[in-house]
Amino acid sequence: MREAIRLADESVKNGGGPFGAVIVKDGEIVAGSSNSVTIDNDPTAHAEVNTIRKACKKLGTFDLSDCVIYTSCEPCPMCLGAIYWAHLRCVYYGNTKKDARDIDFADDFIYEELDKPIDRRSVPFINMLREEALNSFKLWTEKEDKIEY
Protein backbone atom coordinates (compact mmCIF):
# COMPACT_ATOMS: atom_id res chain seq x y z
CA MET A 1 0.00 0.00 0.00
CA ARG A 2 2.85 2.36 0.75
CA GLU A 3 4.13 1.92 -2.82
CA ALA A 4 0.66 2.75 -4.21
CA ILE A 5 0.60 5.87 -2.04
CA ARG A 6 4.13 6.79 -3.14
CA LEU A 7 3.06 6.46 -6.78
CA ALA A 8 0.05 8.71 -6.08
CA ASP A 9 2.29 11.36 -4.49
CA GLU A 10 4.73 11.15 -7.40
CA SER A 11 1.86 11.46 -9.87
CA VAL A 12 0.73 14.75 -8.34
CA LYS A 13 4.29 16.11 -8.55
CA ASN A 14 4.48 15.07 -12.24
CA GLY A 15 1.16 16.58 -13.27
CA GLY A 16 -1.09 13.54 -12.93
CA GLY A 17 -3.99 12.79 -10.63
CA PRO A 18 -3.50 11.80 -6.97
CA PHE A 19 -3.91 8.06 -7.47
CA GLY A 20 -1.53 5.11 -7.52
CA ALA A 21 -1.83 1.33 -7.61
CA VAL A 22 0.26 -1.83 -7.51
CA ILE A 23 -0.55 -5.44 -8.32
CA VAL A 24 1.06 -8.13 -6.20
CA LYS A 25 1.52 -11.84 -6.91
CA ASP A 26 3.01 -14.21 -4.34
CA GLY A 27 4.10 -11.28 -2.18
CA GLU A 28 6.01 -9.54 -4.99
CA ILE A 29 5.01 -6.39 -6.87
CA VAL A 30 4.32 -7.33 -10.49
CA ALA A 31 3.34 -3.86 -11.72
CA GLY A 32 2.67 -0.38 -10.46
CA SER A 33 1.39 2.80 -12.01
CA SER A 34 -0.34 6.06 -11.32
CA ASN A 35 -3.10 8.13 -12.83
CA SER A 36 -2.06 9.66 -16.16
CA VAL A 37 -5.37 11.02 -17.45
CA THR A 38 -4.08 14.55 -18.00
CA ILE A 39 -0.57 13.49 -18.97
CA ASP A 40 -1.75 11.05 -21.66
CA ASN A 41 -5.00 12.85 -22.55
CA ASP A 42 -6.74 9.54 -21.88
CA PRO A 43 -9.80 9.49 -19.61
CA THR A 44 -9.30 5.74 -19.04
CA ALA A 45 -5.73 6.13 -17.77
CA HIS A 46 -6.61 5.65 -14.11
CA ALA A 47 -4.01 4.11 -11.83
CA GLU A 48 -5.82 0.78 -11.53
CA VAL A 49 -6.40 0.41 -15.28
CA ASN A 50 -2.80 1.39 -16.08
CA THR A 51 -1.54 -1.12 -13.51
CA ILE A 52 -3.81 -3.92 -14.74
CA ARG A 53 -2.55 -3.35 -18.30
CA LYS A 54 1.08 -3.50 -17.16
CA ALA A 55 0.57 -6.61 -15.02
CA CYS A 56 -1.26 -8.46 -17.80
CA LYS A 57 1.45 -7.60 -20.30
CA LYS A 58 4.23 -8.64 -17.91
CA LEU A 59 2.54 -11.91 -16.92
CA GLY A 60 1.29 -12.69 -20.42
CA THR A 61 -2.30 -13.23 -19.32
CA PHE A 62 -5.64 -11.46 -19.02
CA ASP A 63 -6.48 -13.45 -15.87
CA LEU A 64 -5.03 -11.98 -12.69
CA SER A 65 -6.95 -14.27 -10.32
CA ASP A 66 -3.73 -15.14 -8.51
CA CYS A 67 -3.01 -11.46 -7.80
CA VAL A 68 -4.24 -8.69 -5.50
CA ILE A 69 -4.33 -4.95 -6.07
CA TYR A 70 -3.37 -2.20 -3.66
CA THR A 71 -4.78 1.16 -4.67
CA SER A 72 -4.38 4.51 -2.97
CA CYS A 73 -8.14 5.16 -3.26
CA GLU A 74 -11.33 3.14 -3.39
CA PRO A 75 -11.82 2.39 -7.11
CA CYS A 76 -14.21 4.33 -9.33
CA PRO A 77 -16.88 2.43 -11.30
CA MET A 78 -14.65 2.06 -14.38
CA CYS A 79 -11.74 0.70 -12.35
CA LEU A 80 -14.05 -1.53 -10.36
CA GLY A 81 -15.26 -3.03 -13.63
CA ALA A 82 -11.67 -3.54 -14.79
CA ILE A 83 -10.79 -5.20 -11.48
CA TYR A 84 -13.66 -7.65 -11.87
CA TRP A 85 -12.83 -8.35 -15.53
CA ALA A 86 -9.19 -9.02 -14.54
CA HIS A 87 -10.41 -11.42 -11.80
CA LEU A 88 -8.21 -9.85 -9.12
CA ARG A 89 -8.93 -11.74 -5.93
CA CYS A 90 -8.75 -8.86 -3.42
CA VAL A 91 -8.69 -5.06 -3.37
CA TYR A 92 -6.86 -3.13 -0.67
CA TYR A 93 -7.48 0.62 -0.72
CA GLY A 94 -6.37 3.71 1.17
CA ASN A 95 -8.64 6.72 0.64
CA THR A 96 -12.40 6.23 0.45
CA LYS A 97 -14.92 7.40 -2.17
CA LYS A 98 -15.92 10.13 0.29
CA ASP A 99 -12.30 11.28 0.62
CA ALA A 100 -12.13 11.53 -3.18
CA ARG A 101 -15.45 13.38 -3.34
CA ASP A 102 -14.10 15.86 -0.78
CA ILE A 103 -11.39 16.91 -3.25
CA ASP A 104 -13.82 17.02 -6.22
CA PHE A 105 -13.25 13.52 -7.59
CA ALA A 106 -16.87 12.39 -7.37
CA ASP A 107 -18.24 9.48 -9.34
CA ASP A 108 -21.70 9.28 -7.77
CA PHE A 109 -23.24 10.52 -11.02
CA ILE A 110 -22.08 7.34 -12.80
CA TYR A 111 -23.78 5.10 -10.26
CA GLU A 112 -26.91 7.24 -10.62
CA GLU A 113 -26.78 6.96 -14.42
CA LEU A 114 -26.46 3.17 -14.25
CA ASP A 115 -29.61 2.99 -12.15
CA LYS A 116 -31.64 4.96 -14.72
CA PRO A 117 -33.56 3.29 -17.55
CA ILE A 118 -31.43 3.53 -20.69
CA ASP A 119 -33.83 6.03 -22.29
CA ARG A 120 -33.48 8.43 -19.33
CA ARG A 121 -29.70 8.71 -19.16
CA SER A 122 -28.05 12.09 -19.71
CA VAL A 123 -26.06 10.71 -22.65
CA PRO A 124 -28.37 9.30 -25.34
CA PHE A 125 -28.06 5.56 -25.98
CA ILE A 126 -29.45 4.71 -29.40
CA ASN A 127 -29.76 1.10 -30.52
CA MET A 128 -29.05 0.59 -34.23
CA LEU A 129 -28.16 -2.18 -36.69
CA ARG A 130 -28.77 -4.82 -34.02
CA GLU A 131 -29.54 -7.56 -36.53
CA GLU A 132 -26.22 -6.93 -38.31
CA ALA A 133 -24.35 -6.70 -35.02
CA LEU A 134 -25.76 -10.02 -33.84
CA ASN A 135 -23.71 -11.77 -36.53
CA SER A 136 -20.53 -11.24 -34.49
CA PHE A 137 -22.19 -12.96 -31.54
CA LYS A 138 -23.27 -15.82 -33.80
CA LEU A 139 -19.70 -16.21 -35.08
CA TRP A 140 -18.41 -16.23 -31.49
CA THR A 141 -20.98 -18.83 -30.41
CA GLU A 142 -20.04 -21.11 -33.30
CA LYS A 143 -16.27 -20.69 -32.92
CA GLU A 144 -14.84 -23.92 -31.55
CA ASP A 145 -11.33 -22.71 -30.68
CA LYS A 146 -12.32 -19.52 -28.82
CA ILE A 147 -10.56 -18.48 -25.66
CA GLU A 148 -13.25 -17.61 -23.15
CA TYR A 149 -12.73 -14.88 -20.60
Catalytic site positions: 48
Nearest to 23 by CA among 52, 46, 49, 50: 52
DSSP string, 34-65: E--HHHHT-TT--HHHHHHHHHHHHHT-S--T
Distance CA 41, CA 64 (A): 27
Distance CA 14, CA 12 (A): 5
